[in-house]
């Protein structure tokens, strides 16, 4: 399973995303499994060192310790995907990320559905169900993805925003910020990459910071949304370059 899918965002922008290769998804899963096992072993050793007398038999304290130790193991994928924008450590290592097919950022409810269906996808038949589903799906979805409306992409090859008029402004285009000509190509590429990241992660934090920095470089102030300002600046850069 490999290839691309096109997702239309809420801003009516088509993002062409590269599906995560099946082999890399398997390797990411194995790495996450190793990390989860290491966490359990470390917590068990820590509990044994702190309360050695409580780690014997089936007393209530022992049961409570086992439950506490197993919680990180059970909730590992759910917590990482929620708080790390769809990336577990294994996925992050291979540049993979969970994204929504609706074009929105992935909701907590969708992450929960993916997590709940891990029992079916991975625990039954040792992951064979997930393997078959991903390989057979045109959108690279296991059962949990199908229910949640998500998939896993390879995010290091983003080409979505080339469909915006960044590099090809109309001949009659009138720049809003003529100072955009002061920017370097590297800075413009950074803006494009940041806007791409926003579409995948749904976070405005880096966008706002870059907008403020860019406005400072240009010596201008802006009143529109930081995303709109940055898109205007990139279009202006292309327009000014075309005229000059």
Per residue in 57-66, pLDDT (tens digit) is: 556 777 777 8
Same domain, yes or no: 38 and 121: yes
In a domain, 159, yes or no: no
Mean confidence (pLDDT) of the chain: 81
**What does the pLDDT read at residue 244?**
45
Q: 234-243 burial, b for 16+ CB within 10 Å, e for fewer?
A: bbbbbbbbee
pLDDT band at 15 (very low <50, low <70, confident <90, very high): low
Pick from 154, 179, 209: which residue ends a domain? 154
In a domain, 118, yes or no: yes
**What does the pLDDT read at residue 171?**
59
pLDDT at 197 over 50: yes
pLDDT at 77 over 70: yes
Same domain, yes or no: 136 and 172: no
Same domain, yes or no: 177 and 124: no
pLDDT band at 203 (very low <50, low <70, confident <90, very high): low
Same domain, yes or no: 36 and 141: yes
Same domain, yes or no: 30 and 59: yes
pLDDT at 132 over 90: yes
C-alpha distances out from residue 35 to 8, 86, 99, 240, Å:
35, 17, 23, 51
- Give the tens place of pLDDT for each residue, 158-177: 444 444 444 454 556 788 88
Pick from 87, 122, 154: which residue ends a domain? 154
Same domain, yes or no: 84 and 182: no
Same domain, yes or no: 139 and 95: yes
Same domain, yes or no: 28 and 90: yes
Backbone φ/ψ region at 148: left (φ over 0), alpha (ψ -120 to 50), beta: alpha
**What does the pLDDT read at residue 55?**
56
Share of residues in the chain with pLDDT > 90 (%): 40
Q: Say how far apart CA 162 and CA 14 lie, in whole Å.
A: 9
C-alpha closest to that of 97 among 109, 108, 88: 88
Q: Say how far apart CA 240 and CA 210 lie, in whole Å.
A: 21
**What does the pLDDT read at residue 202?**
53
What domain range is 17 assigned to? 4-154
Same domain, yes or no: 144 and 36: yes
pLDDT band at 241 (very low <50, low <70, confident <90, very high): low
* pLDDT top residue among 103 and 138: 138
In a domain, 68, yes or no: yes
**What does the pLDDT read at residue 12?**
53
In a domain, 160, yes or no: no
Pick from 154, 187, 203: which residue ends a domain? 154
Same domain, yes or no: 149 and 224: no
- Give the tens place of pLDDT for each residue, 87-131: 999 999 998 999 888 877 789 999 999 999 999 999 888 889 999
C-alpha closest to that of 72 among 114, 51, 44: 44
**Mean pLDDT, residues 182-206:** 72
Q: Say how far apart CA 17 and CA 140 lie, in whole Å.
A: 12
Same domain, yes or no: 92 and 31: yes
**Count of domains forming the chain:** 2
Same domain, yes or no: 139 and 20: yes
**What does the pLDDT read at residue 110?**
95
In SS3 terms, the chain reads as CCCEEEEECCCCCEEEEEECCHHHHHHHHHHHHHHHHHHHHHHHHHHHHHCHHHHCCCCHHHHHHHHHHHHHHHHHHHHHHHHCCCCCHHHHHHCEEEEECCCCCCCHHHHHHHHHCHHHHHHHHHHHHHHHHHHHCCCCCCHHHHHHCEEEEECCCCCHHHHCCCCCCCCCCCCCCHHHHHCCHHHHHHHHHHHHHHHHHCCCHHHHHHHHHHHHHHCCCCCCCHHHHHHHHHHHHHHHHHHC
* pLDDT top residue among 114 and 43: 114
pLDDT at 243 over 60: no
**What does the pLDDT read at residue 58?**
58
């Amino acid at each position: 399973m490999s290839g691309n899918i096109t997702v239309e965002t809420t801003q009516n922008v088509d993002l062409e995303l590269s599906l995560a290769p099946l082999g890399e998804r398997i390797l990411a899963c194995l790495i996450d499994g190793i990390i989860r096992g290491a966490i359990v072993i470390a917590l068990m050793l820590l509990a044994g060192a702190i309360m050695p007398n409580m780690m014997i038999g089936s007393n209530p304290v022992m049961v409570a310790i086992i439950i506490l130790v197993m919680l990180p193991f059970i909730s590992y994928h759910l917590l990482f995907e929620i708080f790390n924008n769809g990336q577990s450590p294994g996925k992050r290592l291979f540049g993979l990320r969970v994204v929504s097919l609706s074009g929105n950022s992935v909701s907590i409810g969708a992450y929960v559905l993916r997590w709940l269906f891990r029992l079916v996808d991975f625990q039954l038949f040792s992951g064979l169900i997930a393997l078959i589903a991903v390989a057979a799906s045109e959108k690279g979805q296991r059962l949990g993805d199908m229910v949640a409306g998500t998939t896993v992409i390879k995010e290091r090859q983003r080409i979505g925003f080339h469909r915006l008029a960044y590099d090809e402004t109309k001949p009659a285009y009138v720049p809003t910020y003529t100072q955009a000509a002061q920017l370097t190509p590297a800075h413009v590429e950074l803006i494009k990459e940041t806007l791409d990241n926003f579409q995948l992660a749904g976070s405005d934090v880096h966008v706002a910071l870059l907008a403020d920095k860019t406005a400072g470089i240009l010596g201008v102030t802006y009143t529109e949304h930081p995303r709109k300002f940055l898109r205007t600046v990139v279009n202006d850069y292309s327009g000014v370059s075309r005229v000059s």
